[in-house]
Amino acid sequence: MFDMRLANARGTANHGWLKSHHTFSFANYWDPKQVGFSDLLVINDDNVAPAKGFGTHPHRNMEIISYVLDGALEHKDSMGTGSVIVPGDIQLMSAGSGIAHSEFNHSNQEQVHFLQIWVVPNQSNTSPSYQQINIAAEDKRGKLHLMISPQGGEKTLAIKQDINIYAGLFDGEESAEYNIPENRYTYIHVAKGRIQINGQMFNAGDAARIRETATLKLSDADKAEILIFDMRPNEVPSM
């Protein structure tokens, strides 16, 4: 059974330079029914104006993922890391005992559209770290690619939590199946386009909690980009 979270039901924020949709409670948006799912705490769908962004600010004890959909995002942090993240890249910053970073639109002309995802870690006050890889479109085309897991691996980043995150690109007749492991929760987020999941149409920004369904069948897509989160069977994150 799907517990749907439709795109137009999300929280919104408009700061002029930043237009954001909040899947879960965040900043000034509060909904006691939307305080995360399992160890997934935040999915913010952000559009940032050219040459604008988030000035240097601190984080502690959080796994922070940036996933760029369009444009280019410039990252700098207190460890001395500097990078530009573009579509196909995946960034994972483990804040641990404390880190400060900034994120800016790298372009002076085009918006950047990205997802920022927070996962509550299973370890506290570890040494901060930063990881980034590029996953080519062909690795996600018509299939699900494991881009984040506890163990990491080839084209997979390592996260400090029992969570597996998959990304996939689907269009036209491309299809796939995902078998949900026993005694696990699943969260689906459609980042772009539209796709049918078990015969139900999901549009960009739509999402669902899944607690019991055994197999997900992905089909009939229109330029879809989706994320699937495989997680512990907890209802809300433990902070």
Binding residues for Fe cation: 57, 59, 101, 103
Query: Angle CA(171)–CA(210)–CA(183) in degrees, nearest 5?
Result: 120
Helix (H, G, I), strand (E, B) or coil at 181: coil
188 and 202 in contact (C-beta within 8 Å)?
A: yes
Give residue 183's identity as a one-letter amino acid code: N
Size (the chain), residues = 239
Contacts of 15 (CB under 8 A, 6+ apart): none
Asked if 195 and 222 count as a contact pair (C-beta separation under 8 A), the reply is yes
Residues annotated in the binding site, as ranges? 57, 59, 101, 103
Give dist(CA 79, CA 130) in Å, integer. 9
d(CA 73, CA 65) in angstroms, rounded, equals 12
SS3 string, 70-100, reads: ECCEEEEECCCCEEEECCCEEEEEECCCCEE
